Structure 1
Amino acid sequence: MAWHFYQQFVENKKLRLFRGTDGYGDGEQLRDFVSVDDVVKVNLFFSDHTNMSGIYNVGTGHSRSFNDLALAVINGLAQLNGESVMELQQALSQGWLEYFSMPET
């Protein structure tokens, strides 16, 4: 997700996140974002240990909101450009974040 957010921000100078639903605020939906490197390590482990089998969930055990991830990407790019980090409301007022609803199907 971080890569997709990075690409979206570089191309559009803003990130589009889902509006809140089912009791979640805008961008506050939670996910356990996992590094691809960690998933690869788990896959390699099981390829080396063929005696082990089953269904395994791979995750960090810590959920983060899409707002948190988006703000981390925005602030990471800001710091690379010598700019200061900002809070969520600042990113919203700058137009760097916007929320949209999924169309009804």
Structure 2
Amino acid sequence: MATQASGAGERLPHTVAVILRIIAAVAVGYGLGALVTILLARHLPMPARDATQAGVMAGFLVHGGVVIWAFAARTTLRAWGWLAVLAIPLILVWRLP
């Protein structure tokens, strides 16, 4: 039996596509969640304790959203592309003083 593509227009074997989506969900999701936590804890106009707590809660939401998006995207390349589009502005803002 011929190998079927895992998504519309995707040419990766199904196992590789799933592994790449798991990496995106776990590693990139954690990284984006951590960036959101850091940025909100640093820039929210409230006491440091409250800003940190709000940042942590938002980080959990971002990580959960990334996990959902990594498996809901039509192709693995599209999932990674959108995660890169989200990560670049967060990294640039993080590098600001």
TM range (shorter): under 0.3
TM value normalised by structure 2: 0.27
Higher helix share: 2
TM value normalised by structure 1: 0.25
Which one has the largest radius of gyration?
Answer: 1
